[in-house]
Amino acid sequence: MAEAHAVAHEAPKGFIRKYIFSLDHKVIGIQYILLALAAVFVGMFLSLLMRLHLVWPNAKLPFFDVMTPEQYLALMTMHGTIMVFFVLTTAPQSGFGNYFLPIQIGAADMAFPTLNMLSFWFTFVSFAVMMAAFFVVGGAPISGWTAYPPLSAVGEIAGPGLGWGQSLWVISIAIFCGASLMGALNFITTTLDLRTKGMSLMRMPLTCWAWFVTAILALLGFAVLLAAGILLLLDRHAGTSFFVPGGLVITEKLIPHKGGSPLLWQHLFWFFGHPEVYIAILPGMGITSHILSTFARKPIFGYRAMVYAIFAIALLGLSVWGHHMFTSGMSPYSAFAFSLLTMSIGVPSAIKTFNWIGTLWGGQIRFTTPMLFAIGFVSLFVSGGLSGIFLAQPAVDLPLHDTYFVVGHFHLIMGVAAIFGMFGATYYWFSKMFGRQMSEFLGKLHFWPTFIGVYCIFMPMHFIGLAGHERRYPDTTAVQYLAALQPVHLFMTIAAIVTIAAQFIFVFNFFWSLWRGKKAEVNPWEATTLEWTVPSPPPHDNFAGRYPAVYRGPYEYGVPGAAKDFTPQHVPDGAGGAGSH
């Protein structure tokens, strides 16, 4: 396969070709990461405003004065949308995956560099369009990140933000789908076609497996969301009625649509929406496996089982979207199938958890910052996963659906666990990407309040959910039983303020280390995979034309009889496991 390495493009000369419209997967990866970093701060700021409003509803907040219910719902919609699409989808896959997939499999670049560049710039435009929704007449949409019609389909008659704001939202999502489809094709092709000599599929790092399977999910999921988005746009602007039934009366006006089905949108949306959970979390699982093995100084426990589990999670993940719809009015018989399939996802998830603990068992664990976040990921994955077992049972879901129990559940597993994966990835790979090491001291200072903080924010949500606290309530005064839950809101808001404050330690560490960090060695963690054989940062074509051959699996730590406790993939048998090349 060595011929495939013929450099697809020359090293660029000017600033614009090098850093803006770059074809280099590494630059594009960093562009995605910086976009996600900007997006996550917007999303986090919105969540802070919401948490403040829930506890002090009459306080004057920046940009909002005293927040109205529609402003709260707009923030909520945009928080969810920004976090799900522009953070959880972009950073772990398009960001870190773009940067490290080609290097870890021994390739010069992604298979389609131009498509890669287009994919990023589509994402960028999509983000700009989404942000524009804040500034148009009526503001951002109030229909939630799930945009259920008819609310999202009939225009501003149903509420503020549902005119221009909602249209921009749909357009932005459609552009984002295009970007994700291009990215998915690129990841799949790269993984299948550009592996270096000796890099069989079963020798790939688990990160590569995770990115590969995530790309397959993205290809199937985003295609459907794109179709749904276009149909919604047609309903809004071309007078079609895919999602709007006849005979609707909104604020005493008869709506001219007829014959559509609101449930059709829910099916299409969740056919994307559930795999999206795995699009967000699978790369984090890959990174966690990678980091745990590195710092436990042990091979991953059950490599093959881990690969099969990723596939099982993805396959099941594609067939369980109906568990979001137990109260929707869909066929109660299909609920039975959706429920059992969903419960089955607990099995490969348990395999992953057991194997992570098995990897640590008997190790010589080095508590670096990336390792702390990887261990945190395992803990959060267990906690967030188990609350899913309640929601997967239709009867038990009834009192919990659309309450804070669900909010706590998906924030732990899809939000925070995935973010821990990203933090782990950042602390682990920063030195490779930027040639300087992040401060370990600041990294640990960042870890502790974050780990404890996220549990203090999201665990109590499960309890107020049990007590029946509906989600998406800007104000808790109209329903009497919510008054007793207000102290819990106060606790969560304080936890959120502390946790958010701690994120500035990360930002400071990130930018300070960029300029002032300790110069990085080639292989500071004494790791085995190919990214640790190239300079930090790697040259334009990664391997300077000398592509490595691979002789073994990715996690050969502590091999008995070897000179060192790590045997890199590229070192031939009998060479004694020396780290040089």
Which residue lies nearer to another protein by CB, 108 or 335?
Answer: 335
| Structure tokens given for 235 | 């309903």
In angstroms, the CA 101 to CA 188 distance is: 11
For residues 285 and 300, the answer to whether their CB atoms sit within 8 Å is no
Nearest residue to 291 (alpha-carbon basis) of 424, 177, 184: 424
Nearest residue to 282 (alpha-carbon basis) of 215, 340, 235, 332: 215
Residue in the structure block whose two tokens are 């940067």: 99
User: What's the min distance (Å) between Cβ of 387 and another protein?
Assistant: 8
User: What's the min distance (Å) between Cβ of 95 and another protein?
Assistant: 27
User: What's the min distance (Å) between Cβ of 463 and another protein?
Assistant: 4
In angstroms, the CA 361 to CA 356 distance is: 9
Q: Which residues pair with 249 in a beta bridge?
A: 254
Buried/exposed 51-80: b ≥16 CB within 10 Å, e otherwise? bbbbbeeeeebeeeeebeebbbbbbbbbbb
For residues 29 and 447, the answer to whether their CB atoms sit within 8 Å is no
CA 412 to chain centre: 12
Which residue lies nearer to another protein by CB, 33 or 228?
Answer: 228
For residues 51 and 492, the answer to whether their CB atoms sit within 8 Å is yes
User: What's the min distance (Å) between Cβ of 252 and another protein?
Assistant: 6
Nearest residue to 141 (alpha-carbon basis) of 160, 122, 125, 113: 160
Which residue lies nearer to another protein by CB, 183 or 460?
Answer: 460
Which residue lies nearer to another protein by CB, 69 or 537?
Answer: 69
User: What's the min distance (Å) between Cβ of 448 and another protein?
Assistant: 8
In angstroms, the CA 431 to CA 368 distance is: 14
User: What's the min distance (Å) between Cβ of 230 and another protein?
Assistant: 21
3-state secondary structure string across 225-277: HHHHHHHHHHHHHCCCCCCCCCCCEECCEECCCCCCCHHHHHHHHHHHHHHHH
> Cα separations (Å) of 453 from 3, 100, 381, 493?
50, 30, 16, 10
Which residue lies nearer to another protein by CB, 240 or 353?
Answer: 353
User: What's the min distance (Å) between Cβ of 33 and another protein?
Assistant: 26
Which residue lies nearer to another protein by CB, 91 or 412?
Answer: 412
Which residue lies nearer to another protein by CB, 123 or 266?
Answer: 266
Which residue lies nearer to another protein by CB, 94 or 499?
Answer: 499
User: What's the min distance (Å) between Cβ of 256 and another protein?
Assistant: 12
User: What's the min distance (Å) between Cβ of 454 and another protein?
Assistant: 11
Which residue lies nearer to another protein by CB, 178 or 554?
Answer: 554
